[in-house]
Each structure stands twice: as structure tokens, then as C-alpha cells.
Chain A
């Protein structure tokens, strides 16, 4: 419990850092945010009007004062309004978040289903046909950008075979298949290698030889000892790879028109709707940091070597 508390306290500067960088980004763009607002509507206005609007938004005050003011508002639940729609950005973000979380969750589940059995199989049949085939597959998957995978899937599953809709029509099963598959392919390719490496490392340890010498069957060694020992590392690596997944959803969501925060962010980028972009960046980082923290705490809880105060490895 003490450890968890310590980790929570360590989180505070990180969270401050995240808000600071998110604000800094917005500040860098902020100088012309008001002008953007008017040019978006196609109105040309006098400099006085722009200055007045800037003063109203507090954009003329010094940087640090603006940051503190913004952070204070943030802590009170006021996260600004969209330049384009005029709606509160946090509400918009929250309403789109379930779609992204669903997509992320589905991709993670599919990744686990594909890569853990494949990774174990590759490690057990090291350098044999199975291993070479799986490594080849993972190599191909690693060299394909996710938007290219998306296009290929659209071409084959959507257009040629016509079994799936090319553009999602809401949060139904059929629409979810292609975006999930795209994200899971890229992630599995990377993750399969890591699972294979972890299991191989464990298989090469002396206790495995010892168990084999004592005549314990391969299956028992693999499932009862090796898997138990590798699972922690495998789970940690999975949690860490969620970061790239959270970033990857932006492109995939906008390709498949999946109505999540990634698409919200890409649309906001195209319209230079900075408050929305800021909200997206900040909350994605917070979610990511939280996932990492939970992984760490879980790791700490499950691994007796660490819990008892020993060092890692």
C-alpha cells in the first residue's frame, strides 16, 4: 500500500508536465487562434476587434499567468469550448471516448488471442518451420504502416469480397471488424516477437533443464513453470504497447469513419480547432499514464520477488 501511495505521489509532477506541455502547444498556436476563428467564418475584421476578442479570452496576458489561470479552470472542470461548434470540449471528448475505448479493448483482446499462442508456438518450435513462418508473418506485419493495412483490408474484405462495410455505420459488430483487425495486425506483429523472446529466455533458464532431467513432461514444464514465469513480463509488455495503439487509433478511426476521439482529433486538426486538439492530447496522455501506473502496481502486487523488497531480475 505504501508503494502504491508513493507511485501516486510521483504521478503529480508527471500530470503537471502533461498539462504544461498541452498548454504550451496551445499557446504556440494561440497567437492566431482568434484570427483563425474569424477566417474560419470568412469574415475580415478590424485589428481592434481582434484585440478586444483576445483580451476577452485572456490571450494577451503573460504566458505563466495564462497557464495558471487555465489550470485553475481545468481543476474546476472548465476545459474550454470548441472554436468551431462552441460546445464544451470535455463533453464532446467524453461522448466519443467509449467508441475509442471499445476499439482499443477489442484490438487488445484480438492481439492477445493472436500473438500469445503464436509467440509460444514460435518459441517452442524454435528455428523450425512453424517458427520461421510466424516470424516471417510478424516481419511482414511490422513493415506495413497501419493505414496501408486498412486500405488492403478495405480492398479485399470490403470491395472485392463485399462482406464488410468499408465505412462504419455506427458501433455495430460488422463495422468494428476492419478497424479492430487493422490495429490488431500491427500490434500482434510487434507483440508476437516479444512473447517469443520472453518465452525463449525462460526456456533457456537452468531450472527448465533441471526439470527436464528429473523427467517432468515438457507440457507440464511449459504450462506450469515457464508460462507462469513469463506471464508477468508478457502482460507488462502488452500494457506498454497500448501507448502506440492509442496513437494509432487516430488514423484508423478517420479512415473507417469510426466515431471516436481519434476521429474527433483529426477533424479538429483539419479545422484548427485547438481546444479540442489540446483536450485530446492531454486526456490520451493521462489515460496512458494511468494504464502504465496500474500495470506497475499490478506487477508489484503479483511478483513476490519485488513485493518482498528484492530488486527486479
Chain B
């Protein structure tokens, strides 16, 4: 069941039809003798056809009656399916049964043993009896039902727009004047990949977009419609539909430009106005690739940090902060797998291969109810599905990494794979180091692999794997590394056109380790890891045009080794130490209701109930109630056995958003969200460092809670080519964990004594002006935001800054970002990036004193000062090779300069006591203009 817009009807069928027409002429006009239709009644057919397409049906019949051949235009029959059980029927009976209630006509020419299938127009294999006398018109139309009359009226008019043909959905016999649902997939005709976020609509009320599988469900009234299918980068399609009842319609789209994919920021014209969700950012990989980055390595996360409301502490941190949330409050999903460390080389590069990534979605505000477990945001990174038709691939060479990807069908049009791999050869950088680091090595790799398999029209299976690895050794005696390993399997099932479900089972792992053998007595190995097994089921049920429901269940079983420290070998005097393994089960049950009472108002309300069980075996420390949680107030420990439920946290999370369209180009939205988080990242550095450890909530560590209200106004100009928005938010965070001054985080058996519960409040306004398409495209955003923390709990024994609110490390009130791209022609484009932000807060010295032989400094309260403001401009040029379609490979170059102005943006400012004196320093990570060049080849 493949519907292709007329322009790209497959050549094979065109040829076939041409010969059919020729044959028709021959038969109709040049056959000098007339033949009575002779029933091949002697042939009896038995068979079972269960929802097969017309093509499959005819092929099946050709097998059963090998002497006969069917002639038909497959493209006109693609909305037609056959469900028949045949026992001892003649060919004519079979065909009559199959086409009953449709306008499909058939003609059996027993002489040539050809069967002609047509629509509406019946082919007569014999001339009417009185043909040469009466010139009687052929009976063209069957009785068209009146629901098609208006179609007929509008048909001529509409053909001007799209010289299309009528596609019939459903069975005429089933027709009702009710709402019906059309479902199907939208795919790229060239590669067979599903297309996401394609808008499919008949009018403003009946509109939807495809999901990540390219699947859509559109509710329309029965009758005739013009269906529009559009997304940037693909040719728009308009189809004439006659809708009788529920049915399926798969749509293939052509790329608008063959080689140079159009740069797009939003896939959906006016989507920003219509979407109920607030604070959602979508970026396609094309946009990501057009943004200049350091060393020219296309970096998924680096581009995310240029979006409004997203900040980083500095350049050497891939951890990012969304609307004042800490870096561990982001749920980073790569094909539904949770990635604990999304970066390579301590945050200089993100760990996702741009060649296989399709795009990203970042939820900053309205986090859908099917997501949970993190407070601030969900970053959903999806890879493409492999090309279902041909083996293709690409390879690229950059200054630091080289990468390759390969994709193609395993079973044509049914099963495809895509895999990508990257590796670094950064060792040459290390070889430039002074002599003492001569034996240093650094390496990182990442590999991803996905298989998608279409079982049948209502079942899809996906298999995903991800692996990333970082390993360094400096001066040859200390090595350390970290690694992500993820795998999952996903089954998508359409129970009916109104009801579908997705089931995912997966396993995620992150581990970190260090070993050193420099000093034989102190030679050690240390590390930690997090493992989680997940199961998730999500269901979507379309009640009607006004109501739809999402519901589901998810479960995560955590096994967390907070840390071990052990001797490197038998010469070492290190005593093995290990913090008890933690186990927990986090479950979530959710129900979301999407309600659109009319064209203007749309409400999405959801509730998620999350339950966290901390499980044995474990030893839990008990502290004197009411007194500070310190070692001195510990009164004892309780040991719990394996599988024992030690304690449970549970509570509802509310997800509410609504949209009201004031005018077709102006809408207002509001949202309220509350979330809970049961796993915490403990860090005493300003950024995410690899040594930071994860900790599960337990009887002494409460879950983090957050809530956010937001309000937004969206206005489009110039027929939706310019999008503007203003979003305001206020959020509150409770029980975020900060460290006590001088606290030890690693190998701390009673970590609750070294952390302090912190509450936070954040607020801000994000103003965005975006031009998604065109020769000149890109966006400008301005963000004003604050995030203030308060270590408030008197029972903690200590407070930070005397219990007053202080700015978080990533509190950068003013932020201006421009990401611009100008397409000079199809082969050449230039990109310019501009980034300004207030310097981040730091703790500066306020006084000096003399101690232990040196002058030293005394620090102010935490984060009372700021480093100088940040300002950076990047420039890049993308040059594509020629666009001849039939060459074996296509190549492209990216050349650019990161930090064109060479500004030494301070990453940190600090003061050290050196040789008895205090010296102040300003450290810049990228202190000069960094040119880069990248070469990519596609095959």
C-alpha cells in the first residue's frame, strides 16, 4: 500500500499502463471480431487474503491461476485492501467479492488471458452488440453516492492546484457521515526512511503531525477533502481524498532539493502557533550541522546550548542547564536509552555521531506525561531509520575525529539498519605536549546501531544499541576512562487506527574508572557505575477529533555502585573499600488527555504518578531525629535483606498546558508542570566532572521536586515565514542536593552527612525571533533569567551564605544568541554565530592573610561576584560538491573559524598562593581563533 503522488508514479507501472492502453486500443478498435466474455468458470480458486494490498492480491491470484495476467495501475489502488476467504469460487466471483462496494472495475479477457483492473471506467473486452450501429456511450459511472457529488463538483477546480487523482479511503459500503480516522506512514521516497514532524492536514481543525516513526493519525469527517502534506525540505503534496470510513494511507514524499538538503529550524509552518506544548525546541541535523563548532565537529549538544533558556557553565562542559535547572536534571535520551554522560574528552565534544542523528527535541516547559524522573528537561535525540531501499553511507574526516556511517536494507522495504562509528586520533595533539607527558594517550569512540523491521502494516520492531568509550592516560602511569553502554528493543503496535501502543525494554549502563600505578604502595583502581533496566509502554487512543488519550506505564530498576577503591596489584597497600550497592525501583503511571473543543482552544492535561522504592540489601544509617545529620548524630544502622522494600517515596506529578488561538497567526499558551527526581548527581565542581557520582534517594536523601508555570505568546509574520515568541516562566526546586563545605563525595559511606538540601527559585523571559527557511535563515534570541539557591534547612547543621539566596553557578541573567545561515546558492552557504552572556557567578577573595608560610586569600560568600562577560563569534562555510545525481559519491567541505575574534573569554578566574604570594589568573579554554576544516563524503 504505497501511495505516490502522480509525479513519481513508479516507472514500471507507467510502462505497464502504457502497454495496457495500447492493448486497449488494439482490443477496442482494431479487433475485427468480437468475442463474448467467456467465464473461466472451470477454474476454481481457494485462498486466504488477509488485509493484503491490491498488488499482493493480484500477485497471489496470478500464482493461483498462472495462465492469467493482471494489468492495473498500482498507484491508483493503493488505498485498497483485500480481506477475503475464498473457497471454490470462480475468478469472476472472487473479483466481484473483492471489489464489492468500491468503484473498481475489472474485465477478464479470456482470449488473451488478461485481466484489466480499472477505476470507475470499465473496460469491455468485447464490443457492445450494436456497437457499429448505435454509438451508444459506455456506461462510465457506477452510481456514485451523493457524498461524492461535492467531490465531483470541486474536482475540476482542485485539479488545477494538483492534477491529482481521487484517493478513496475505506469501503463505500461502510460509509457514514461521521468522523473517521486516517492513519498511515509518511516516508522519504528515496530512502524509505520515515519522516517525522510532517504536518498532515485538511484544514486548521483537522491537522496533525507525524510522530517519530513517521506515523500519523488524522481525524476527518467522511466526505471529500484535500489533504495537504508538508514539511520543509520535502515537496509539498496535496491529495484529493474521498473518505468513506477508516482507512490507511501511506504517503511518500520527494526531497525538494536532491543533494543539498534545505536548512530548517522548524519542520512545521505555523507549528509554533498551533502546538499545545510550550517550550519545545526542535532541531534537525541539517541545522545542527550548519552551526559552527570548535574543531568543526558537528556537535548536537553544543547547538542545544545555543537555544533560548539553555545555558552552560563554560566551554569544557557538555552538561547544560535548562531554565535554571542543574545539569543532572536533564533526561538525555538517545533512541529512548538514558545517557548518563553525553560527552567525550571531559565535555569538549558530545558523544553522538551527527551522521546518524536525525534531530533533537528539547522539552523545557511542557514535559509530556510519558516522561519522568528528571526535573528540568527532556532532550530526546533520535537517529534516522536506515535506508530501506539502497545501501548508502558517509564518511568524514575532521581535525579530531573521523567518522563513518552505513545504512541500508536487510530485507528490502521491510528491514533496514543504520550504524555509525566515530573514533578520535587526538593523540597527535598530545604529542605536542612537553616531554613529561610524552607517553600520554587519549582516545574515544562511539558506535551506534539500529535495526528497524516492519513486521506488517500494524507492527514495527526496532532494535537500538549505543556504545561510547573514553580512555586517557597521562604520563603513562595513570589511566582513566568512562563508558556508556545502552541497548533496547521497541515494538510498536497499532491495535486499530484509533489505538496504538509502543513497548520498550532496555538496559542502560554508565561506568567510570581510574587506575594509577605511579606509587607502588598507593597504586589503586577506583570507579563507579550505574546500571538500569527499563520497561516502558505508551498507548495513544484517539477518541474523536476533540479528545485523545495517552497513557502508559514505565519502570526503571536501578543498580548503582556508588564507588569502589581497590589495590592496583599485590604490591599496593591500598585497602579495598566499596560503598554498598544501591538498588531501587522507580515506576510511573500516567494518563494524559488532549482536548480540542474547538478550533481555537486546545488543552492537554496529564497526571503522572511516580513511585520510588529503595530496595535492600542495604545498611541504612539512623540519625537522631531533629538534629543535624552528621557523624556525631548517627545513632546506628539498620541492615535490610535482599529485595526488602526499605522505603517508598510517591506522589503525583501534574502536566497541564493549554493553547488559545487569537488569530491564525497569534496564539497564547500557558502551562504548569510538576516533576520529581529520585536520582541525584553529586558534584562539588562548577561543572559536571566525570568524577561526580550518582546517588539514589534513600531514607536519608529525599527526592528532588520541581514545579514550573509558564506563559507564552506566539506570533508569526509574512505567511508564517517569520516566527516570534515570548515565553515567561517561574519555577521552584526543592531538595536539590548541594555539598557541604569541604564535603567528601567519593567513597563516602554516609554521604547524607556531607550534603545539604537546597531549594531554588528561577524565573525568566525568553524572546525568540526565528526565520526557519529561505535563503537567509536562523534565529535571534534574548533571554533574561535568574536562578537563585538557598541552603535553608536548619537541621543540616551548616548553611551556605548564612541561609540567604545566592545565584547558582550557571546564573547568567542576560543572554543573546544569533545563529544565522545564508545560502548563497545550492552548493555554498555561510553560517555566522554570535553569542553574548553575562559572566557566571564566582566566589572571589575578599581579604588576604598569612598562614603556613604563604600569603593566602579568604573567600567571599558563595557566588557573590561574576567573571567578565562572555562574547564569541563563529563563522563557517559549507561547500558541497557538484549535484549530479548519478555520481558514485557526493562530497562536501566545511571550513570555518571558531571564536573568530580570538577573544579570551574567561572560563574561570582564580587566585593561588605561589611562592608565598597571591597570584590571580584568568583561564580561557579557547583563547584564540580556532580554524577548522572537515571533509565529508556520501556514498
| A and B part of one assembly | no
Chain A positions within 8 Å of B, measured between CB atoms, are none
Which residues of B line the A interface, CB within 8 A? Answer: none
